Structure 1
Amino acid sequence: METESVEYVKQTMEYSRKRAIRTKLVNFVINKIWKVPIFYSESRAEGISSVQSDTDFMFEADGIFTLSNEGQIGLKSDTSVVYVVMDTHEVHSGYTRIQIMEGDWNDLSEFASSGDGLRSLCKTFGNHNSKYLSNILVKQFWETRMKSVIPRQGLKNEISSHGPSTVIRYAADKDVVEVDTLICLRGEWPEVAKEWLERKRNFNWPTKELIEEIKAIGCNLVPIGHRLSHGKELELEWRISFSKAECLLIWSLNGTQTACIECMRLFFQVFISPKFPDLFSSYFIKTAMFWLIEETDSTFWQPLNILACLDRLLSKLITCVEEKCIQNFFIPKNNMLDAKAVESKELLDVLRIELTRHDVTGEEKWRMLIKEKLLQMDKNDIYYYHILINSLSVSRHFIYNSIRSSNIKDSKDMLMQGIQELKCCNDKDMFSDVCKQLQHELEAILSIVTFCESQSDSGTDRILSPNDTKWVEETLNKYTELSHSTGKLLLCTFYFYIERYQEALAITEDVQTRYTSQVVHYTFWNRSKTPRDDHYPQITPRPTLNETLKNYIALDVVLLPCLSRLFRATIQEKLYSRDALFIHPLFYAFFVRFHCFYRMQNAAECEAVLNKMQTFVAENMDVLKTTQDFNILHLGDSCHQLLKKHTESGNYFKKTIKSLLQKGEF
């Protein structure tokens, strides 16, 4: 078991480190390239895996900042920001009201577009009729605003509310991923958390340097009141969130500490949560672990000692449940179990008995969970690089959703800025290989955008010379060596546009031939399957990320509005209505292949390709019900209409579209 414990801690730390870097990269792309004030938070962002990890995006409202007291306002000189003030008087610990100051000030905040702006989102409260920000009105604002901010794909009814969050149902290949999005305000370090900065610590965790870094990033205010509050008090309360601080604390942990949190969450998900759903949050486990680390000598947290570490954490959790008290790590006066102590007192007593029963069984439960977790950790290259590939897939989605304009000049500027940001990103603590891959892809697309710009300037009827296309072709050929099919299909699109149909057909043939059962399709968040070791050769030394991408990873083909002149009329219509299009690479190869044969007036081959398109859709129908690729049904139908001939394949597309629309599935 000693060997297994050490291996488990090692693997957990390795993947936790990668996940933390993914968070930094995704946040970098969102803020610097997409230019939206959103940060990725909760379990996935922190780098700790579990059976059902949370995925949250927090949108920091622009142009508004929360101060800890009114006296700070006179010290601020930035006129582009609206300053509001925390009011924690007679509010549950860990919560605050947000007071809007009287006077003549310009509303340049995120909320300026809402009616009368920030003032229209307020309610009066107290003896002096002071104005406070309503969490209900702000959430309503966000539900409308979010639709123009967050890129969406998936089902027709894809947005719902859950607590302070607005939930988006995102497409995956086999299921639907629910992502919580919520609006929040930025704030300085609150006075009610001053004790955390000054707390006496015997074991130097967190370090003084980390404490100062956390103080500097401040807090966020989330639009949700305490569960025991009522009426207007509930509407005007905001929760003080330390999500950014918690990320930094998690990233400072060693492998044993990280593995403890992951294993305890797994223990609860397997043994406890099925019996006590929604009673004990994984956030409570993390909080208890923070307290335990702060109270314990660092020499205790060693890989060989992980079973004892888990026992101690479980004992602390049992004490918390018994006392019906889990103190917030930053604001100890905030007992995060107080509402449940009122609403679910008897259940907490039963939970304590259940936890104690597991506690006396000894270390065997930990051994079983660790063995099971190790069995899930495959050694193949795709599994090893999954977090990097996922970072690439997610980053591509956000980058291309930022290039929404059909204006070529605007798109060029965005692409060049993105390339420059990614060059700088190489010097930071992020995946340099992923950044280079993104950079090369943007450079390839920039070459085509520049080509389209030259065609627009010269007129659409000008005959192209070899010199007109040579430099674009050279750039695109370099990119084809960096991915399985995406780069090739970009070159294929270019060949189709300049009427080099045989070369375009050769690429589509190559993509279809190389699209074997070993290929994994990544689309935004998820992948088409989990790669298992018995499906892939074990090569030593391990291939690079680029070699793995080239051999096994198929990313979505992205069609941008600024490149609409390259595509068929049906795609142009979709681009105008949906911004960017993300298309499965294998289907796109069929689509281009059909149009090449159509231009060559080969009806028999067109019909053969249409049959393959139908087979692809039929085999993936369950997948299509959860992805944005409803578009491919329309693209298939458009090909059928071009043939001007009734075929079984063509009728299939039309009937499928009609059936899904009648069922309301899209």
Structure 2
Amino acid sequence: MFQEPDYRENLSLMLSQVLDDIGVNESIVIRRRRMNMLTETMNYITNRLINQNLTVYYLGSQSEGTTTIGLHSDSDILICDYGYNIIQDWSEWEHCKTNYLMIQDENTTPGYCFLQLLRHDEPFPATVIPDRHHITDRSGRILLKNTKSNGIIPGSVDHGPSNAIQGQPGIVDKDHVLAYPCKSWPQSASCWLERQGIGRWPTQDMRRYAASTGCFVVATGSKVGVYPELEWRISTSLAERCLMSNLNITQIRCYVLLKIILKSFLNPQAEINISSFMCKTVLLHCIENTEQSIWKNNNLFTCLTYCLLELHACVQNDCCSHFIVQENNLMAGQFTAEKKHDLLKYITELIQSDGNGLLIIDIDDLGQRLQVKLNMVPHGGYNFQSLLEIHKNLMIQTYVNIANIAGQTGECHKFVLYYLHNKSIMTIKQSVSKLMTFRDNGNRFQHAAFKILAPFIFTTYGSVLASSSIGENNQVSPEALVWLSAGLNSDISSSRLKLASVFYSTGNMEKAELILIHTEQQYYSYPLLPICNCLHKQIHVTAEFMWVCGEQSEDCIKHITAFCVRFMHQEINCVPRELQYEMFRSTQDDMIHRDKYRDYWMNWAVVDSLPFLFFLQYKIYSHLQKHQDQQQALSKLIRIIVTDKNLEHRETAFNILGQCMEQENTHQQALNCYLLSLQLRARNNAAKFHICKLFSRILAGR
């Protein structure tokens, strides 16, 4: 079958070149995988720091690197709650944990199970229904409904930072699913561990790793199940991720081609007849049942044809067996007889076209590019993106990945602050110690995530220590300075501004001035991206920033981002008096209008970096009696508030500007600032207090 004519070999080579051109190459695949694994690891570390027993897994095409710009693939997020213990054998029961027994009987669809609630004090079935998420079946078993997953609220504090940036402009959409862990390998997949295909793939090492990952039960019922609300799908996602990470570039390209064909011909107008997971399963079966030597670039088209033949057989037989849990038929109840007839027709036509069907694919201009490669048309015959333009777009996607990491960093920091808010210094110290274990004992992704997250946590800890010592004797303790110094390189500005604010609060104006001068110089040395996450607004990004970002790894975050500055209540002695009002912005009536899942940052003083920098300059130059520099700082503060599109806390910036105007004795301008602030945020705004204070001052004649 695999001794093909020369034209097929030539077609395969040209097809491989086209896929290379549109970004399906080893370099881009590795970069995509690294960025997603790093995001996953940052979530993992954050959830450990805030004592959330959750792990967030980033799965699917984005994490595998099996996508292109034109496919617009989403990112699948599996949120696993390790507070539950799913067992397949009574010996796995754990004392004082929420235990569920996996039940597979004549009432469950193959590949699915029921979850029977067990007692937490001894290994026996539970007899009391605990809540509305449970139901008693005819046998008297208390079963968990999969509708409990409806409680997941994207972006909620209860589930940590995993949902940080869903639906954000420029960021891929995310599909969240709730899962519970089972430490042991699924009994229904035990035969897979011994199965050996023609190509001796997967290897024994892969199988051993897969078995060590256990499995999940996912809150999804079968379409053909008798009790769909009670069924939980058995998932081997981590084992599947291991298999995908061990594919060679030809196998990855074959899978991408299957998905492009799927979107172009088999699932028109966003219909879901055949899923990309079915295509992945078909590919894995084909790899298992062929010699590894055939999976090379000059045989790509033949491999694709083989996969299409296998897919045709699956549709013909209404059966696509899960690669690992073979009893699970992925096509059960998936399409009608009429739809099956159409699918078989389309797949047959594609196979019989002997490659001509590929020439009309619009996604990523694949058909046109292939025609040019095959010299079927002159190079100027089509107007599609040049390789330089594709490279630019891939760099934009790299920016998206870097921006994703940066955004996740800000979100993780925000959740850690949420957990540490009003906690004791000892509790914060314990969190820092826990963080250090990832530096000392972590894997390579944990080391990388530590390098990004740690400076923000160090700065917070140092600032809390400084606030405590300032409150006692108006001095900054040496320990506080050590931690503040350790966090200076979090980004270009936020940690440095905190240190400058600490020195300002203790009257050390000269040191504060030097830090601000250096920070301002750094701020304008690079095309920077302001990061905040508090309001989830769209960020305006320059082409220069995208280019710089695209050429760098995630380490560039420290040099090309400027995070907002966040102060908790425990840091109040390090905060200028004018900014302290932001910690008390809400009246009791205002609290009613807060979103509890998004607005908890309102308990802190939060300000964008650049306005805070110029405000500190204004105050410091006032103390140093450098009046010309003071007025220049005021002018910069006004200009940045009016012109900078990236300010997320513009109302706060207006509030501190208003207080500068009060210091200038221009009361009307101060009032205008507060009114402009209220126009931006009518509630939960300290401007109300500033207005009252201003009127009181005017009436007092001061």
**TM-score of the pair, normalised by structure 2:** 0.72
CA contact (8 A) 2:320 2:329 kept: yes
Is 1:184 the counterpart of 2:179 in the alignment?
A: yes
- Shift in Å at residue 59 of structure 1? 3.3
- Secondary structure of 1:448's aligned partner: helix
The match for 1:640 among 649, 658, 672 is 658
1:448-597 superposed matches below 5 A: 448-456=463-471, 459=472, 462-464=473-475, 468=476, 476=484, 479-480=487-488, 483-501=491-509, 504=512, 507-508=515-516, 511=519, 514-515=523-524, 518-521=527-530, 529=541, 546=555, 548-549=556-557, 551-567=559-575, 568-573=579-584, 578=602, 584-590=608-614, 592-593=616-617, 596=620
Structure 1 match to 2:11: none
Q: Deviations over 1:324-373 (max 9, x none)?
A: 4332222233222222224xx43454444445555522554557579969
Structure 2 match to 1:85: 101
Separation of aligned partners in 2, 1:340 and 1:202: 30
CA contact (8 A) 1:228 1:339 kept: yes
Q: Deviations over 1:109-145 (max 9, x none)?
A: 9xxxxxx88565321112x322211222x23554599
Structure 2 match to 1:112: none
Separation of aligned partners in 2, 1:336 and 1:64: 27
1:235-634 superposed matches below 5 A: 235-269=229-263, 273=267, 275-342=269-336, 345-357=337-349, 360=353, 361=356, 364=359, 365=361, 366=366, 375-378=389-392, 390-391=404-405, 393-395=407-409, 397-403=411-417, 404-405=419-420, 406-407=422-423, 408-425=425-442, 428-430=443-445, 432=447, 434-456=449-471, 459=472, 462-464=473-475, 468=476, 476=484, 479-480=487-488, 483-501=491-509, 504=512, 507-508=515-516, 511=519, 514-515=523-524, 518-521=527-530, 529=541, 546=555, 548-549=556-557, 551-567=559-575, 568-573=579-584, 578=602, 584-590=608-614, 592-593=616-617, 596=620, 608-616=635-643, 619-620=645-646, 629=648, 631-634=649-652
Greater mean alpha carbon deviation, residues 312-321 or residues 472-481: 472-481
CA contact (8 A) 2:321 2:330 kept: yes
Separation of aligned partners in 2, 1:356 and 1:61: 44
- Shift in Å at residue 151 of structure 1? 3.9
Separation of aligned partners in 2, 1:420 and 1:523: 27
CA contact (8 A) 1:222 1:238 kept: yes
Q: Deviations over 1:248-288 (max 9, x none)?
A: 22222223323333444345456665524333332222222
- Shift in Å at residue 297 of structure 1? 1.5
CA contact (8 A) 1:18 1:47 kept: no
1:204-223 superposed matches below 5 A: 204-223=200-219
CA contact (8 A) 1:614 1:653 kept: no
Separation of aligned partners in 1, 2:439 and 2:341: 53
Q: Deviations over 1:412-455 (max 9, x none)?
A: 22123212322322xx2327455334444544443333323333
CA contact (8 A) 1:489 1:589 kept: yes
- Secondary structure of 2:333's aligned partner: helix
Separation of aligned partners in 2, 1:144 and 1:170: 7
- Secondary structure of 1:338's aligned partner: coil
CA contact (8 A) 1:495 1:503 kept: yes
Structure 2 match to 1:224: 220
CA contact (8 A) 1:123 1:131 kept: yes
| 1:362–1:533 CA distance, 2 compared to 1 (3 A) | farther
| 1:380–1:600 CA distance, 2 compared to 1 (3 A) | farther
| 1:317–1:97 CA distance, 2 compared to 1 (3 A) | same
Is 1:131 the counterpart of 2:127 in the alignment?
A: no
Structure 2 match to 1:52: 72
Separation of aligned partners in 2, 1:64 and 1:543: 40
- Secondary structure of 1:98's aligned partner: strand
- Shift in Å at residue 240 of structure 1? 1.5
CA contact (8 A) 1:558 1:580 kept: yes
- Shift in Å at residue 146 of structure 1? 5.2
CA contact (8 A) 2:611 2:637 kept: no
Q: Deviations over 1:190-246 (max 9, x none)?
A: 33223323333222221222222222322111222222346xx22211121222222
- Secondary structure of 1:60's aligned partner: strand
CA contact (8 A) 1:205 1:294 kept: yes
Separation of aligned partners in 2, 1:484 and 1:9: 33
Separation of aligned partners in 1, 2:154 and 2:553: 44
Separation of aligned partners in 2, 1:477 and 1:470: 10
- Secondary structure of 1:85's aligned partner: strand
Q: Deviations over 1:609-650 (max 9, x none)?
A: 553243245x34xxx7xxxx3x44345345436645344655
Structure 2: gaps of 5 or more residues: 1-13, 371-383, 586-598, 686-702
Separation of aligned partners in 2, 1:169 and 1:537: 19
The match for 2:679 among 655, 658, 666 is 655
- Shift in Å at residue 555 of structure 1? 4.2
* Higher alpha-carbon Rg: 2
Separation of aligned partners in 2, 1:263 and 1:616: 46
Greater mean alpha carbon deviation, residues 414-423 or residues 367-376: 367-376
CA contact (8 A) 1:221 1:241 kept: yes
The match for 2:134 among 97, 100, 122 is 122
CA contact (8 A) 2:136 2:142 kept: yes
User: Looking at both structures, which has the greater relative contact order when contacts are Cα pairs under 8 Å and sequence separation is at least 6?
Assistant: 1
Greater mean alpha carbon deviation, residues 499-508 or residues 598-607: 598-607
| 1:586–1:81 CA distance, 2 compared to 1 (3 A) | same
Q: Deviations over 1:543-562 (max 9, x none)?
A: 8865x445434345444454
Structure 1: gaps of 5 or more residues: 110-115, 153-166, 662-666
- Secondary structure of 1:430's aligned partner: helix
| 1:286–1:221 CA distance, 2 compared to 1 (3 A) | same
CA contact (8 A) 1:123 1:132 kept: yes
Separation of aligned partners in 2, 1:432 and 1:314: 42
Separation of aligned partners in 2, 1:638 and 1:395: 27
Separation of aligned partners in 2, 1:265 and 1:29: 33
- Secondary structure of 2:74's aligned partner: coil
- Shift in Å at residue 56 of structure 1? 3.9
Separation of aligned partners in 1, 2:531 and 2:427: 28
| 1:543–1:77 CA distance, 2 compared to 1 (3 A) | closer
Instruction: Tell me the amino acid that sits aligned with residue 430 of structure 1.
Output: F
CA contact (8 A) 1:493 1:592 kept: yes
Separation of aligned partners in 2, 1:599 and 1:62: 54
- Shift in Å at residue 92 of structure 1? 1.4
Separation of aligned partners in 2, 1:511 and 1:652: 28
Q: Deviations over 1:20-67 (max 9, x none)?
A: 642563354245444432222322344444543333443333443222
Separation of aligned partners in 1, 2:369 and 2:144: 46
Separation of aligned partners in 2, 1:373 and 1:213: 42
| 1:16–1:59 CA distance, 2 compared to 1 (3 A) | closer
Is 1:148 the counterpart of 2:158 in the alignment?
A: yes
| 1:475–1:292 CA distance, 2 compared to 1 (3 A) | same
Separation of aligned partners in 1, 2:601 and 2:36: 36
CA contact (8 A) 1:485 1:585 kept: yes
